[in-house]
Amino acid sequence: MSCSAKAQDSKLSELNRFMDALKGLSRSESNLIAILHKVQELYGYLDRDAMDEVAATMNIPTAHIWGVATFYHYFKLKKPGKHVIAICLGTACYIKGAGEILEKLKEELKIDIGGMTSDGLFSLEEARCLGACGLAPVMMIDGKIYGSLTPKKVSEILQGYRKRSSGE
């Protein structure tokens, strides 16, 4: 068994453990969204095979599961890049020039929102208010918030990630 297959296996068994704990509860199907969160936590996105597993284990039709998954913005249907950039497009950031920041990101990464760079290093998402309005405009890379952005600062930040990645 290859290394990555083993990793997949352990993810699947963790997912199954999570579902087993919920299965015994009354109205267990109401926990579907919690299960989808777990899948995304484990895989980084909603992996197709894992979703089939959810359908079989929880006895919920696959169509219903995908119906729910596609309704909510938080769930990713595509595998994200190594670093996930979420640009805040909330009101405070918009008023303080998030549009310009987004343009710069698109220009530097040569992708649109929802896309991933050809080297798989970055993917770009939009966020609706990260709650750091005092630092607007902001973006978040892998959970770290960068505030008071200017187009120039964006270039520098991306350059930092690129450098670190090529150094690895």
Partner 1 sequence: MIAPLDILKKKRSEALDRIHSKEYLSVKRVHVGMATCEIAAGSKEVMDIFLQAAKSGLTDVCVSQKGCAGRCNFEPTVEIMEDGKVPVKYCKVTPEMAKQIVERHLKKGEVIGEWADNGKLKHPEKERFEEGHLCGKFFQVFGDVDFFSKQMRIVLRNCGIIDPENIDDYLSVRGYEALAKVLTDIPPVQVIDTVKKSGLRGRGGAGFPTGIKWELTARQQSEEKFIICNADEGDPGAFMDRSTIEGDPHTVIEGMAIGGYAIGSHRGIIYIRAEYPLAVKRLEKAIADAKSAGFLGENILGSDFSFDIEIRLGAGAFVCGEETALIHSIEGHRGMPRPRPPFPSVQGLFDKPTLINNVETWANIPVVIIHGADWFNSIGTQKSKGTKVFALAGKITNTGLVEVPMGTTLREIVYDIGAGIPGNKKFKAIQTGGPSGGCLSEEYLDTPIDYDSLAKAGSIMGSGGMIVIDEDSCMVNVARFFLEFTQNESCGKCAPCREGTKRMLEILTRITEGKGEEGDIEKLERLGTMIKKASLCGLGQSAPNPVLSTIKNFRAEYEEHIKDKKCRAHFCPSLLEYTVTDKCVGCGVCKKACPAGAITGVLKNKHEIDKNKCVKCAACYKACKFNAIARV
**Binding footprint of partner 1 on the chain (CB under 8 A):** 27, 29-34, 36-37, 67-68, 71-75, 89-92, 94-96, 127-136, 138, 145, 147
- The amino acid present at 16, given as its one-letter code, is N
In whole angstroms, how close is the CB of 140 to partner 1 at the nearest point? 9
In whole angstroms, how close is the CB of 5 to partner 1 at the nearest point? 29
Q: Which is nearer to partner 1, 10 or 70 (CB)?
A: 70
In whole angstroms, how close is the CB of 150 to partner 1 at the nearest point? 12
- The amino acid present at 43, given as its one-letter code, is Y
Q: Which is nearer to partner 1, 24 or 168 (CB)?
A: 24
Residue 87, classed as helix, strand or coil, is strand
Q: Which is nearer to partner 1, 40 or 109 (CB)?
A: 40
Q: Which is nearer to partner 1, 83 or 104 (CB)?
A: 104
In whole angstroms, how close is the CB of 129 to partner 1 at the nearest point? 4
Contacts of 29 by beta carbon, 8 Å cutoff, 6+ apart: 58, 59, 60
**Tokens at residue 27, please?**
């109205």
DSSP state for residue 60 in the 8-state scheme: -
Residue in this structure with the two tokens 């959810």, named with its chain if needed: 54
Residues facing residue 126 across a β-bridge: 87
Residues facing residue 127 across a β-bridge: 88
